[in-house]
Amino acid sequence: MKKILVTGSSGLIGSEVCVHFDKLGWDVHGIDNNQRSIFFGERGDTRWNQKRLEKGLNNFTHHELDIRDRSAVINKIAELKPDAIVHTAAQPSHDKAAEIPFEDFDTNAVGTFNLLEATRQYSTDIPFVHMSTNKVYGDAPNHIDLVEKETRYDYADPKYLHGIAETFSIDQSKHSLFGASKVAADISVQEYGRYFNMPTCCLRGGCLTGPNHSGVELHGFLSYLIKCNLDKKEYTIFGYKGKQVRDNIHSYDVAKFVEAFIDAPRIAEVYNLGGGKENTCSILEAFDLISNISGIKMKYQYDDKNRIGDHICYYSDLRKMKAHYPNWNITKSLEDIFTEIYQSWKERIA
């Protein structure tokens, strides 16, 4: 039986990868220490998801481990001898990073480096998949010419008709401290791939979402927005008139791409992994979508100060991914995503 190690296994993407590979018949080992509850408080707690995996999967083992603990990481990988590693653990909020800069960098940059070196010491042949972020591009996408429409912004430059490609610069822009720590991790994953000829890839995620997200205001925009709608709680729009655009990808489609890469790995690859242009929406459009599903009118207030380093418009150019892995595609539409998140929150609240 093949063995996979997943960090951040109680989080949105990590748990989806665990479920997916369990169904494929793999022996699944998850690393998580519920650090999200430390970062975001009770609403960010992911123990419920850990229990769901332990109860529902056939071959899942949870390991309580902090990826900042270098010797523990090295020892665990040497002990488990996995056939593939998927690294999804992170401090995920660029707002929070400014409050906890050491914790952010130690988790995102140093934790990733610990995992890479532990992997290299064990084997340079196994696939290493890293969940990076579109925040590695900093605020550079905001310098693209935009057109303002009634409910959203979009790219005016035809060069970006399909979205942001992997060739877009990550240099000379404002990233937030979170973005900087993720750049360090992203570059490290690429370098281990190139320098040691290891099969690694960085998945620069757009808006990664799905029904198993413990969304909070500082991270998990869509999950949190839908939860606010159900709770009839006021949602705060930060700047850009609520017309800022994101591409949304369901965690299942992320797990499917992880499977595709592990089946046919490449050296030091980078992919912009999002929902693409078809799965984009602005905050204003998201309000209408969830209100149509729930029947509840969205309550919100507006703060004209945007978040530092936030993107006005961002969606992923998926052409490289589809060229390298032609059997992969987006399977979950925007309406599917909203409906599943809505149903999941209803069940958790009940």
**Helix-helix angle 221-231:334-349, to 10 degrees:** 50
**How confident is the model at residue 189, as a pLDDT?**
99
46: nearest Cα among 61, 30, 35, 60: 35
The pair phi, psi for residue 237, each rounded to 5°, is -90, 130
> For residues 185 and 105, what is the distance between their CA atoms, to the nearest angstrom?
9
Kindly tell me the number of DSSP H helices and DSSP E strands found in the chain: 13, 14
The pair phi, psi for residue 93, each rounded to 5°, is -110, 125
Intervals of the chain under pLDDT 50 = none
> For residues 325 and 46, what is the distance between their CA atoms, to the nearest angstrom?
32
**How confident is the model at residue 207, as a pLDDT?**
92
Domains of the chain and any CATH numbers: 3-349 (3.40.50.720)
Q: Confirm if 214 and 46 have CB atoms less than 8 A apart.
A: yes
> For residues 328 and 260, what is the distance between their CA atoms, to the nearest angstrom?
7
**How confident is the model at residue 216, as a pLDDT?**
63
User: 231-261: per-residue pLDDT in tens?
Assistant: 999 999 999 999 999 999 999 999 999 999 9
**How confident is the model at residue 220, as a pLDDT?**
66
User: Hey, what's the torsion of the CAs at 122, 127, 131, 135, to 10 degrees?
Assistant: 100
**How confident is the model at residue 212, as a pLDDT?**
81
**CA distances (Å), origin 9, targets 26, 128, 156, 257, 275:** 15, 15, 39, 17, 22
**How confident is the model at residue 67, as a pLDDT?**
98
Q: Confirm if 220 and 214 have CB atoms less than 8 A apart.
A: yes
**How confident is the model at residue 39, as a pLDDT?**
83
Burial of 184 (0-12, 13-18, 19+ CB in 10 A): middle
> For residues 94 and 310, what is the distance between their CA atoms, to the nearest angstrom?
9
Using alpha carbons only, how large is the chain's radius of gyration in Å?
19
**How confident is the model at residue 93, as a pLDDT?**
85
The pair phi, psi for residue 86, each rounded to 5°, is -120, 115
Dihedral angle sign, alpha carbons of residues 208, 92, 98, 143: negative
> For residues 294 and 229, what is the distance between their CA atoms, to the nearest angstrom?
8
